[in-house]
Amino acid sequence: MASRVAIVSMGWYGFKSSVDELSFREMMFEAATRAYETVGLDPRRDVDAFVSCQEDYWEGIAITDEFAPEPVGGVLRPTLTVAGDMLQGVAQAYMMIKTGYFDVVVVESHAKPSDITTMHGIFEMALDPLYLRPLNPPNMHFLAGLDAAAFLQRSRLGREHLAMVVAKNKRAGLSNSRASHAAPLSPDDVLSMEPVVDPLTRLDIAPFSDAAVVAVLASEEAARRFTDTPVWIEGISWITEAGTGALAWHTIGAMPGLRVAAKRALAMAGVSRIDTDTSFAEVDDRYSYVELLALEELGLGSPDEVARMLEDGDLDPGGYYPVNPSGGSLAAGVALEATAGFRLLEVYERLLAGGYEEGRERGVVASWRGPPTRTFSVAVLGV
Amino acid sequence: MAMWGKDPRVSVRYPGRMEVEKYVYTPGLHGLELAKALKEGRLIGTRCGDTIYFPPTTFCPDHAMGEPVEIKGPWIVEAYTVVREDSSSRRLDKPVVIAYITPLDAEGGLIHYVEASEEEIAPGIEVEPVFAPPEKRKGTIRDILYFKVKNSAQE
């Protein structure tokens, strides 16, 4: 049987509104150096392949793949890029190790949104050029507004539930050094704001952050050479629904792609229910409503049940089933393709910290690549 | 940081421009059919077996080619949002309504503007496309100027 796959080390840099002192390549170098030094790994000797998760438009460089190897120690070594979020890259690395041809694979992702002066233009370029882009929508969050409105309509939840998610996550982030956008807010602070794109206010929309994240993945045998505390990838899957022109494949106000990815990843890990078989989850919350929707698609309960858990504090850090104890993207920002890397890092570090009930020593990562994509990834990590 | 001053990007910046506005997109077989229909003030989808898809697609879920078929509606607002600020956080003089609109005779739909007041707009209401005058149509989705509430006085 193929080897299990572990994360043996992770490194990061940034998670600030603007990392002024370093270029994106230097941020990659810093994150990689931290990941390698922790376990005494020499990337020129010990790594079989490198995976970089990035996208030309984010870098402002066409065919930016060529810039991937150097900062992570991958020059003249097998390197591939994934134009997707970091969890998609982790899935590729996982499969490479499962083949038996690779023992150690490094996955990196980075984001420098502070370098992007025309974020709206990039978003527009990602819309279907025939059916959606010609509308020239004035605000790039309009798709999220539509999705959030449809979710609230279907679930019969209200803006107050979204406000509770914002307050919970912004506050949870206060104890997280990566959560630069944390704040001691109350739901009323959110509800008192006028929406930007109905029903979402500025506080319901996670701001951007600059960040780089690097993970070192290894086969079971190789993992033991580097660490006594591997964190196992017990399940992982990713799904893309379709582009924004093919609306027949989308269910607005729901995330069937996330549901399918979750089903597959949870089944791989032997998880029947996330709240009984795992201890916490870091799920997408780049918009407040997404956290509730993601929990529904992860099978935690109906929107009604999830809302009740939220009201009762069950989803708080230290609650019955903590969701985004890190503060999520609402507190740490959206770091483009490294956003999933942030969630992975949080689950990785929290599992290493230990203290979980036996049989539930697992955490869930659920990621959306963000609008206008309909791409979702889910992973289950365990110790 | 002393080496660079307070904000290194203020002293040294490398501005760039991606020349993406020059791209042209081939509409493809189905896109061309839709373009022709739009110029005639009509909308077409693709029939794949018993199911009709809108917007049209050249290839069906079973990977066979579909055939064009006219979409007549009625068009229903599935969900809507009111955009009050632009992406640069500037308040819009007049908020705009963007809706996901589905035709009852096909799977899928269109995201488009609805000219309706906030009192009028609601999920489930029927709307209809308002086309540009024939001489101004270009075969693009903007040949539909907006959707209006069916039987509304709005023109």
Residues of chain A contacting residue B123, judged by C-beta atoms under 8 Å apart: 149-150, 153
Of A134, A146, A197, the CB nearest to B141: A134
Among B9, B81, B111, beta carbon nearest to A197 = B81
A198 vs B140: CB contact, 8 Å cut-off? no
With b for 16 or more beta-carbon neighbours within 10 A and e for fewer, the A90-128 pattern comes to bbbbbebbeeeebbbbbbbbbbbbbbbeebbbbbbbbbb
pLDDT at B23: 81
Give the pLDDT mean for A281-304: 98
| A-chain residues near B142 (CB < 8 A) | 134-135
Q: Sketch the domain layout of chain B as residue ranges.
A: 23-149
What rounded mean pLDDT belongs to chain A?
96
Q: How far is A140 from chain B (nearest CA, A)?
A: 6
Average confidence (pLDDT) over A322-340: 98
Confidence of residue B60 (pLDDT cuts 50, 70, 90): confident
Report pLDDT digits (tens) over B75-87: 999 999 999 999 9
A139 neighbourhood in chain B, CB within 8 Å:
83, 85-87
Q: Touching check for A23 and chain B: CB below 8 Å?
A: no
Does pLDDT of B90 surpass 60? yes
**pLDDT tens-digit map of A47-93:** 999 999 999 999 989 899 999 999 999 999 999 999 999 999 999 99
CATH number of the domain at A5-117+210-231, please? 3.40.47.10
DSSP string, A211-262: EEEEEEEEEHHHHHHH-S--EEEEEEEEEE---TT-GGG--TT--HHHHHHH
CATH classification code of A140-205+234-382: 3.40.47.10
What average pLDDT does this structure show over A215-241?
97
CATH architecture of the domain B23-149 equals Beta Barrel (2.40)
Which segment of A14-18, A120-124, B38-42, B124-128 scores lowest on mean pLDDT? Answer: A120-124
CB contact under 8 A, B87 and A198: no
Q: Greater confidence, B154 or A358? A: A358
Cα dihedral A237, A74, A34, A210 sign = negative
How far is A343 from A364, CA to CA, in rounded Å?
9
Distance from CA of A316 to the nearest CA of B (A): 30
Using a CB–CB cut-off of 8 Å, the residues of B that contact A are 1, 4, 7-9, 16, 18, 20, 25, 27, 31, 34, 53-55, 57, 78-89, 92, 96, 98-100, 106-113, 123, 140-142
pLDDT at B2: 41
Please state the domain extents for chain A: 5-117+210-231, 140-205+234-382
pLDDT at B11 > cutoff 70: no
